[in-house]
Structure 1
């Protein structure tokens, strides 16, 4: 969601002057909290001040139970609970898209909601802690002076966008979703306030149908809550399950919205038949737009606003088309089904078999799940059991994050791997987590970068309702073997909305792809991509292996879709480095 903010916190005994911040961000409305905290935002309607200078919340908030109505004030007893629990009451009794700052004595607690829908970055200098919605806001107050961290940049390219506290900008750290930043004087520390394993371990023995009903109610409540925030949203659809579910729920709660779908010249990227079925079913106008090469520029990164790169050049064409229609139609938000595959656990592995064995032991259900995985993947039944056994054998280990080392230099790979791969959600506290649930949680971690990267398009907020906290918690409680019930992926979600969507959309199993457009980009810019990757920032700083890059461009060499995807990601990263080299500013230390 697109809410700009900048927060400055100073130790007690010193006073922050608002005039300095107004000069740095004159487009923001500024508020002073006591004598030591000031907050500026471009969305003053989303700023809730806590009484008695106890802090504030920026973003959107809803009650956990009852109608999903926006919360803008707190009764005294609720405020006391929020303050006494240092914000934990917000996580347990509310949901939304927010960053909360709670002041308790000389300590400050900064809490980011578990969905990660509202980005939050921080930096500390000369005893002043600064929070911001985007790294560029930190630059406005002179905090980005150390430049790009090449090792962290290489690590971002190696780890595929794994969210980490440290970023590729040396002065910028990210407060991860569900985490709390504690500020005590000049000391800063982080701790987890929301643990997905708490929900993954608690399925309460519900049946498949009971889980489907709970999921339908949770999604309807969340989509309904988000729909009430906007007057005229635009829904991006593909005719796939996830965006169709969002469309069906929006139809129930909204009278006015339109749909948009994107099409390539390649039949693989033409999903308009399914998109038309959805738009006709929900009775909404559909804009069928095409990916255009003129919307692609090698000079413009799709994630230039982020503190590390992991975007794709072709995303600019999607963003440009959607933003054009949104502005043409006067849309005040863009809704998507993004994150659905991750939240609903779209998997083709044998891990659910290991999960069921760990939960039930040898039972008739084991053989039923093996048959489901066989139907889903086409793998032989003995292979399914062998892979399930392998997953069970590795169940005491932490989840092994996938890396992508293609075209990176050996030196940068070695440096980037130092310290290992850590994320607070990837390792269950009891060291005995279910391997299928570990993969599910890793999928939730993986989606956070893209949700943060695409929180707005050309200034228009983008809403990803399927990533809302109640939906995450509901899906985490669904056993992984139920998610592939009957040999069908995302089976619980399909069942939950079978009465609200056409059978052809519920049954659709094949996804479209814009890969054809990626080939068009590569064909037009082939030589320029080669030049930038062989003599750009990444190569000149030892991040790329030049010889491997050169081999990609040998005459008559056939290139596959995976290689083109990697090259477009790397040239997007090259544009990211150019953006930050030109925008990192040096200034006197902030006062």
Structure 2
């Protein structure tokens, strides 16, 4: 499972800057050999990657050399063919501009994959999840620092955050374990669901939906059963081949479900 940790803050806010540096020192104390995959004003990103993945992170760099964020995971071009889709291994400056100018929406419209995107546009930061939410994404705000992460165990500073248990959510989870409303078992931590965008501005945090399955479902498509089976097989083969091509080795679990 792909793992990451990111600290995002307003670098002009002295209090938030001190808090971010304090949290980062705790990360380094826990893992002295750890270095940030991306460090820029107002953001520290650690991409722990996925075992066996040949290229875990794509930097978003404009023509003037300015880094505008990164894409973690696997990003593919859309294709109507039967074979694997080309994996994006480098983000050209023109593509970077399209991504930042749209605050990441172009990723949802023109690409697919298993990814998390962290994008800076002016003083606004955006975090985007792919529609399938294949990489877990949680976030919280602490002392002016937005902490975005995939796994809580990757946050060695967690005991310093004063987290509290969300008993109401846990009780509901015991009744139905498929709840996906952004809540978690901790009051201060929320989940960024699939196809969503978290925006951080001077006005605070805002979540919006970029990919709505209702829009897909409303597009009526009723081919004959034989044609539907052919299309389903092509999509499945293309998806599996595309994702498998990102790894050096594959392990197949043939145990019964």
**TM-score per shorter chain, which class?**
0.7 to 0.9
The aligned counterpart of 2:48 is: 42
The 1:138–1:144 alpha-carbon spacing in structure 2 relative to 1, beyond 3 Å, is: farther
Q: 2:131 aligns with which of 100, 107, 114?
A: 114
Unaligned runs of 5+ in 1: 237-259, 263-512, 514-591
The aligned counterpart of 2:78 is: 64
Question: Larger % of strand: which?
Answer: 2
Establish whether residue 13 from structure 1 lines up as the match of residue 12 from structure 2: yes
TM-score for the superposition, normalised by structure 1: 0.38
Q: 1:77 aligns with which of 75, 84, 94?
A: 94
The 1:25–1:133 alpha-carbon spacing in structure 2 relative to 1, beyond 3 Å, is: farther
DSSP-derived class of the 1:233 partner? coil
Q: Partners of 2:224 and 2:194 in 1: how far apart?
A: 30
Unaligned runs of 5+ in 2: none
Establish whether residue 261 from structure 1 lines up as the match of residue 255 from structure 2: yes
The aligned counterpart of 1:312 is: none
Asked if 1 retains the 8 angstrom alpha-carbon contact of 2:36 and 2:45, the reply is: yes
After superposition, where does 1:332-481 map in structure 2 within 5 Å? Answer: none
Q: Partners of 1:152 and 1:121 in 2: how far apart?
A: 16
After superposition, where does 1:507-586 map in structure 2 within 5 Å? Answer: none
After superposition, where does 1:143-158 map in structure 2 within 5 Å? Answer: 144-158=161-175
User: How far is the alpha carbon of 1:210 from its aligned partner?
Assistant: 2.6
User: How far is the alpha carbon of 1:208 from its aligned partner?
Assistant: 2.6
Question: Larger % of helix: which?
Answer: 1
Q: For the pair shown, which has the larger CA radius of gyration, 1 or 2?
A: 1
Kindly provide the CA deviation profile for residues 159-203 of structure 1, in whole angstroms up to 9, marking residues without a partner as x. Answer: 323122111122221111111111113611111010111111113
User: How far is the alpha carbon of 1:20 from its aligned partner?
Assistant: 4.5
Q: Partners of 1:151 and 1:118 in 2: how far apart?
A: 25
Establish whether residue 92 from structure 1 lines up as the match of residue 91 from structure 2: no
Q: 2:188 aligns with which of 160, 166, 171?
A: 171
The aligned counterpart of 2:236 is: 219
The aligned counterpart of 2:198 is: 181
User: How far is the alpha carbon of 1:140 from its aligned partner?
Assistant: 2.9
Asked if 2 retains the 8 angstrom alpha-carbon contact of 1:8 and 1:131, the reply is: yes
